[in-house]
Structure 1
Amino acid sequence: MTRSPGTPLPPPKARRRLREAASLTQAQLADRMGVTRATVRTWESGRTTPRGRKREAYAELLKALAEEESAAAKRAPEAEAESGAQPAPVPVVVAVRTGPGSPAEAADSLVLPAKALPAEERREAEPERETTADPKAEPEPVGLTPAQAFDALYEFGTPALVRQTFLLTGRRELARESVERAFQTAWENWPEVARDPDPVGWVRAVAYEYALSPWQRFRPRNRHPEPPPADPGDRTLLNTLLRLPPRHRRTLLLYDGVGLDLPETAAETEASTPATANRLLNARRAMAGRLPELADPEVLHRRLAEVASNERLRAAKPPTVRVGSERRARFWTRAAIAFTVALIGTTALTLRTAPTHYEPPVSPGETVRGVPPKVAPGALSDEELELRQKLRDQMQDGPERLTPRLE
């Protein structure tokens, strides 16, 4: 029995283009499909594809969006031909909302988007200002310098990352230091981070690796526990979370705290999807065994956000982090240059002072017992003189010496 192929879907880039052309956000599309925003994000990135009824519904929705786009494209030339004259330019007013739901409040929450903000959300995340653009004036470039882009990413992601790292380690200073060190590494590799589709995830992975490094236990300040949370419930939850193995704790935090799906959690923890699922189930089972009220993932997510938000966590300003990263890079560069110069000087000195040929050492004299001393030559005795004369008289060469004779 052969299996019929599923409903065809457009490429991932086309899916996102159709959604943006219809002025729909990922959250709105997720509500219409009955899935989470992270699921829509993975569909548009091409890492996962829907199956079954979700695939058919998604294909029908994309088909309807494509038909609306084609119909709008056909109506545009007709409207221009009927109007004939260009409409008067209208001043453009840019206003960005603040207060509840603003970028500042979103940065203070525990959950961060797993990917970079889409175009419509980036427009909402701009600083608060209201300006009227002159239609006759030349448009100003909207591109950001690397320092401005880094500062925007730092201000957006730091508050939530510090809270997440605090839940991961239970230490406030270590959480702050880990996030700042991760952003310093990101500034050193900024071209790579700027092109990454998920820069916050890039920094988060580096911060988690630094915070969970086994070398942290050897630092003097990490040998003593820090003051626990003031609330007894928060203290119990944090202690229960810290009892989990580091890998299980990180998996639980990424899936139930940050909101990543299972494939994204597996990719960030560098594990297979089945192994990540087993870690997540074991972590949930351990949490529910000690705190039965946290058996519901929604309750667990809410409680993690409450524990993280109740702590007063601080972080340095973006320029301070950038300057620290540049100083660190200069220090290691100078150290590498100094080590190379020292190595070259040592090699040159060795070549200059090394001998050109091998001279075996002269062993010192030793006294050997039991061997008679060598006697100096003296006068020959009569027997020695007779033997010498006999040897001289005998024939030393010739064929006669080779012929046997009878005695």
Structure 2
Amino acid sequence: MTQSPATPLPSPKERRRLRESGSLTQAQVAERVGVSRETVRSWETGRTTPRGHKREAYAKLLASLDCPTSRQEPSKHPAVTVSLKKSPRPTLVAVTATVGATATVTAAATPTAVLDEEPPATTPLTPTQAFDALYAFCAPALVRQAYLLTGRRELARESVERAFQLAWQRWPEVAVDRDPAGWVRATAYEYALSPWHRFRPRYRHPEPPPPDAADRALLTALLKLPTPHRRTLMLYDGVGLDLPETAAETEASTPATANRLLHAREAIAARLPELSDPTALHQRLAELASTERLRAARPPTVRIGSERRARFWTRAAIAFTVALIGTTALTVRSAPTHYEPPIAPGAEVQGVPPRVAPGSLSDEEVELREKLRDETTNGPERLLPLGR
């Protein structure tokens, strides 16, 4: 059935804004409508217009995103407030989910107000609930970012899991940090970009590239960049940090970070001229990260793995300490208690008279004696007296 051309549709710019406000990527919209991602991209840029039943499905999807219950401003994101009971003034950790491949968590210390008639506005959560909330909002985006940094799916998942395991081990310190998500992100980036992974057998061979040619070209261009440039580009154009924050996270000066960013953009534009615009580059990075549909492990699995790892290393440290103490005790027990002078080396003595008494037989004499004993003696038989 052909839909009437009078079916209302927002402007191309408004279509993109509605999709981003609903935390959807172009690939997800294309899957719901039943078209390709390139078609959705052309709809949002205004090059083409949907027709027929696809126009009706697209209009319904945009209308559902435009309803008051699901509408949110691009700068507003759902937040979960977490309170850690560590002091009379609990620390509130606001976990914020962002659109695309970014996730930020902000921490702010706010005093609590005691009201006589009204109940408190927020209910303090346990450390486990706070960690699960942080993981639920940050882990999916961090896995996609780690994939863009390394080009390996399993390494991306492993990096994020290791970072959150370390965060759970140091949760009292991470929970009161000014930016818990930044703490976890920096840890995941450090682990993902470690040069020691090249010596692991499972990471010696490259993984299958993305099926789309444009995605393969962008991922190849990213992996060709030096590691500091790649990380700077990801933080600035991918995550959306400003230049001072990017410099602080990469532990570099602001001029050096700016030079890395410019060189990275020039290298990407030289290989892919259509991505010379930073806005287009940011959009393509988000699309490339979302096409793989990478999934992180569940929060309980990460917490249990962190506790197991902590127990293992604790037991290993205890065993090493016991072995060191035993070795020290054995050394002390077997060590000499007094001074023992060393044995003097032998010296040649002159003026000793030669030996006159027969000594031990030489090899030739021993051989002759055995030979004589074995042979039968010729001559008369010898008479031996018999005892009575």
Instruction: Give the TM-score normalised by structure 1.
Output: 0.60
CA contact (8 A) 1:157 1:200 kept: yes
Alpha-carbon shift at residue 361 of structure 1 (Å) = 2.9
Letter in 2 for 1:165: A
**Counterpart selection for 1:189 from 151, 170, 183:** 170
Query: Which residue does 2:179 correspond to in 1?
Result: 198
Query: Which residue does 2:152 correspond to in 1?
Result: 171
CA distance in 2 between counterparts of 1:372 and 1:321 reads 86
Alpha-carbon shift at residue 98 of structure 1 (Å) = 5.2
Query: Which residue does 1:110 correspond to in 2?
Result: 101
Query: Which residue does 1:328 correspond to in 2?
Result: 309
Q: 1:91-240 counterparts in 2 under 5 A?
A: 97=69, 103=78, 106=97, 109-113=100-104, 115-116=105-106, 142-240=123-221
Gaps of 5+ in 1: 1-95, 120-135, 376-407
What percent identity do the matched residue pairs reach? 72
Alpha-carbon shift at residue 367 of structure 1 (Å) = 3.2
The structure number with the bigger radius of gyration is 1
CA distance in 2 between counterparts of 1:263 and 1:147 reads 32
Counting helix residues as a fraction of each chain, which structure ranks higher? 1
Q: Relative to structure 1, is the Cα distance of residues 364 and 277 closer, same or farther in structure 2, using a 3 angstrom cutoff?
A: same
Query: Which residue does 1:242 correspond to in 2?
Result: 223
Alpha-carbon shift at residue 110 of structure 1 (Å) = 0.8
Alpha-carbon shift at residue 137 of structure 1 (Å) = 9.1
**Would you say 1:355 and 2:336 are equivalent positions?**
yes
CA contact (8 A) 2:107 2:177 kept: no
CA contact (8 A) 1:107 1:159 kept: no
- Please give the per-residue CA displacement for 1:200-249, whole angstroms capped at 9, x wherever unaligned: 11100000000011111111110011010010000000001000000000
Secondary structure at the residue paired with 2:252? Answer: coil
CA distance in 1 between counterparts of 2:244 and 2:119 reads 46
Secondary structure at the residue paired with 2:313? Answer: helix
Secondary structure at the residue paired with 1:365? Answer: coil
CA contact (8 A) 2:97 2:138 kept: no
Query: Which residue does 2:33 correspond to in 1?
Result: none
CA distance in 1 between counterparts of 2:69 and 2:143 reads 25
CA distance in 1 between counterparts of 2:122 and 2:203 reads 48
Query: Which residue does 1:8 correspond to in 2?
Result: none
Letter in 2 for 1:338: A
Alpha-carbon shift at residue 198 of structure 1 (Å) = 1.0
**Would you say 1:286 and 2:277 are equivalent positions?**
no
- Please give the per-residue CA displacement for 1:295-326, whole angstroms capped at 9, x wherever unaligned: 11001000000100100212110011011111
CA distance in 2 between counterparts of 1:110 and 1:116 reads 17
CA distance in 2 between counterparts of 1:199 and 1:138 reads 28
**Counterpart selection for 1:267 from 244, 248, 256:** 248
Letter in 1 for 2:106: A
- Please give the per-residue CA displacement for 1:65-117, whole angstroms capped at 9, x wherever unaligned: xxxxxxxxxxxxxxxxxxxxxxxxxxxxxxx955888759956721223x428
Gaps of 5+ in 2: 1-67, 80-95, 110-116, 355-388
CA distance in 1 between counterparts of 2:180 and 2:200 reads 29
Letter in 1 for 2:159: S
Secondary structure at the residue paired with 1:143? Answer: coil
CA contact (8 A) 1:162 1:176 kept: yes
Q: Relative to structure 1, is the Cα distance of residues 97 and 165 closer, same or farther in structure 2, using a 3 angstrom cutoff?
A: farther
Alpha-carbon shift at residue 357 of structure 1 (Å) = 1.7
Letter in 1 for 2:103: L
Q: Relative to structure 1, is the Cα distance of residues 98 and 144 closer, same or farther in structure 2, using a 3 angstrom cutoff?
A: farther
Query: Which residue does 2:20 correspond to in 1?
Result: none
CA contact (8 A) 1:107 1:158 kept: no
- Please give the per-residue CA displacement for 1:244-300, whole angstroms capped at 9, x wherever unaligned: 000000000000000000000000000111110111111111111111111110010
Query: Could you tell which deviates more after superposition, 322-331 or 100-109?
Result: 100-109
- Please give the per-residue CA displacement for 1:7-58, whole angstroms capped at 9, x wherever unaligned: xxxxxxxxxxxxxxxxxxxxxxxxxxxxxxxxxxxxxxxxxxxxxxxxxxxx
Q: Relative to structure 1, is the Cα distance of residues 329 and 295 closer, same or farther in structure 2, using a 3 angstrom cutoff?
A: same
**Would you say 1:317 and 2:298 are equivalent positions?**
yes
Alpha-carbon shift at residue 197 of structure 1 (Å) = 1.8
Alpha-carbon shift at residue 345 of structure 1 (Å) = 1.0
Secondary structure at the residue paired with 2:103? Answer: coil
Q: Relative to structure 1, is the Cα distance of residues 169 and 231 closer, same or farther in structure 2, using a 3 angstrom cutoff?
A: same
Indicate the RMSD between aligned Cα atoms, in angstroms. 2.7
Letter in 2 for 1:291: L
**Would you say 1:277 and 2:258 are equivalent positions?**
yes
Alpha-carbon shift at residue 158 of structure 1 (Å) = 0.7
Letter in 2 for 1:177: E
CA contact (8 A) 1:187 1:322 kept: yes
Q: Relative to structure 1, is the Cα distance of residues 205 and 227 closer, same or farther in structure 2, using a 3 angstrom cutoff?
A: same
